[in-house]
Chain A
Amino acid sequence: MQMLVIAEHDNKGLNPATRTAVAAGREIIAASGGGELQVVVAGADCLAVAQAAAGLEGVSGVIQLDGPALAQGLAEDLVDALLAQVRARDVRAVVFPATTNGKNWAPRLAALLDVAAISDVIRVVDAKTFERPIYAGNVIATVESSDPILVITARTTAFTPVADSGTAVSIITISAAAPTERAAFVGQALSKSDRPELASAKVVVSGGRALGSAEKYRELLEPLADRLGAALGASRAAVDAGYAPNDFQVGQTGKVVAPQLYIAIGMSGAIQHLAGMKDSKVIVAINKDPDAPIFQVADYGLVADLFEAVPALTAKL
């Protein structure tokens, strides 16, 4: 089968989520008896990203769709450009990483192809059958597609990122059509941090409402995260209260993470939050309420006042 995997990037570098989508794509190709996997890099002046994609394991080729219309990833023009590639190449499967971009683009493409989209795939059962979480991850559904073209978003924590191949496949560069101006980019406010990216960090230090304020969130969690080389996360309650920015939210409707170590500080453990972190390898919970639901999933629970325990932990590491 012919497959497209849509790269996640910022026009400068390839986001690691792309590697997990390629991994999911390879499993589908293997299950279908073989085929070609092309990575699509849609952006503006994104040759460096295309070159990085060309060096990924399991990739047959790279299609670089380049032009001002695609600079900010606006869905209308970008999906039209993808649709042209799907039609021109007799593509049978399109795989997106389940990032906010992937979630924004995939269903739009699927509808234009008159096929279903399958969101947040966590396992490839066979070439048409997939597992995905529903009800905030409390149930795993197995669904089988009857469509001629698969459109999928792959959960980034569920697939092992592909490595570099050590060689480079060829890159086809295609100029994008002029912007249609149905939507326009106005601006962005991206969180700047020297810490690892939350979605792919090996250690996550995450805080809940019990921290009490944005000042305490930073005062207690940042030194601990610095000591551990960790990314910072937060519960919905902490984000709603303004302790942390929206892109720190871990949970059913925020980011899904599966680090080696997840430290939940002052969090009750609502099911919507657990949906975003329960696949972490080791979970630590620090909470003064011994009955908090977070302790039901924690490998190590410390019932303590976080305002004493967290500084002590930071000091002793």
Chain B
Amino acid sequence: MKVLVTVKRVVDYNVKVRVKPDGSDVDIANVKMSMNPFDEIAVEEAVRLKEKGVATEIVVITCGTVASQDVLRTAFAMGADRGILVESAEALQPLAVAKVLKAVFDKEQPQLVIMGKQAIDDDSNQTGQMFAALAGLPQATFASKLDINGGSAQVTREVDGGLQTIAVTLPAVVTTDLRLNEPRYVTLPNIMKAKKKEIETIPAAGLGLNLVPRLRLVKVADPPGRSAGVKVDSVDVLIDKLKNEAKVI
């Protein structure tokens, strides 16, 4: 079974981004970039399927500039076999990425597509659902457990009330939640081997798709600040403050 995994290069989760002084966008020059953490979970799940003999080939795909090759290399070091970079100088919005994925899905014909449930930069949580819609595939979003049984996947999903288990007919789209697995650390020998794996570059503009952004970023701003309050030195003082000052109990 061929598995397609999507990865995105984002600002590292430990970096606190800053707004540019003119409010036009966030300033991400010279900050550490990494693979989106939910995508690492997606790659890990695919590698585990391969180790179990369920998956035969893992293809990773990303959209971006040449710089995004580094997240494909990280995926290789984790165990992915082959990479596709859909090159676009402009950042693609979720609908555009979904259209690109549909084009690549049609060509590659994977049985399973594993994607992170959201990227931690724009926090959209959209691309998996959009791609599933365009490709006419069932979707199992926010997965915390995945089992492949022949022609279907049984997926446990993290939902507001607890956990829901569904079965989707393959091919299908699965988006990962935090507790699906704990991604492995890449080792130096695997990083060296990753350099030999093949990356195919496809210009996004050559796919014949309407990738025009539908949302215009008007401005960005800091959220309303919240300043530190006071330290209290005992439980009694805390109760007094909550009762008589904040009046919340």
Contact = CB atoms under 8 A, between A and B. Distances in A.
Contact of B214 (A104, A112, A115, A240): A115
B167 A186 contact: yes
A236 interface: yes
A118 B38 CA distance: 20
Nearest to A115: B214
B144 interface: yes
A313 interface: yes
B196 interface: no
A184 B129 contact: no
A255 B228 CA distance: 23
Interface of A: 10, 72, 74-76, 79, 99-101, 103-112, 114-120, 129, 133-147, 181-191, 199, 203, 228, 236, 239-240, 245-247, 252-253, 255, 260-261, 271-272, 278, 281-284, 290, 295-304, 309, 312-313, 316-317
A111 B134 contact: yes
B56 interface: no
A278 B128 CA distance: 28
Contacts, number: 254
A107 B13 contact: no
Interface in B100-156: 117-118, 120-134, 137-142, 144, 154
B249 interface: yes
Q: Interface size class for chain B?
A: 35 or more
28 contacts: A75-B129, A79-B133, A101-B159, A104-B139, A107-B125, A111-B130, A114-B95, A117-B94, A117-B126, A119-B126, A129-B218, A134-B220, A139-B221, A140-B220, A141-B122, A142-B218, A181-B169, A186-B165, A188-B159, A190-B161, A272-B13, A278-B226, A281-B246, A282-B246, A295-B228, A301-B228, A302-B234, A309-B235
Contacts of A110: 95, 126, 130
B16 interface: yes
Given A101-B160, A271-B16, A300-B238, A261 B138 contact: no
Nearest to B95: A116
A142 B217 contact: yes
Contacts of A313: 235, 238-239
B138 A182 contact: yes
Contacts of A281: 246, 248
Interface string B162-173: 111111110000
A137 B137 CA distance: 32
Contacts of A245: 162
Q: Which applies to chain B's interface (DSSP): helix, strand, loop or mixed?
A: mixed
A188 B223 contact: no
A302 B123 contact: no
Contact of B228 (A103, A246, A296): A296
Nearest to B215: A143
Interface in B156-201: 157-169, 177-179
A186 B154 contact: yes
B84 interface: no
Nearest to A271: B16
Contacts of B242: 261, 282, 284, 300
Most chain B CB within 10 A, of A99, A107, A140, A141, is at A107
B140 to A, nearest CB: 7
A189 B163 CA distance: 5
Nearest to B235: A312
A119 B158 contact: no
A112 B93 CA distance: 16
Closest 4 CB pairs of A and B: A299-B229, A111-B130, A107-B129, A107-B126
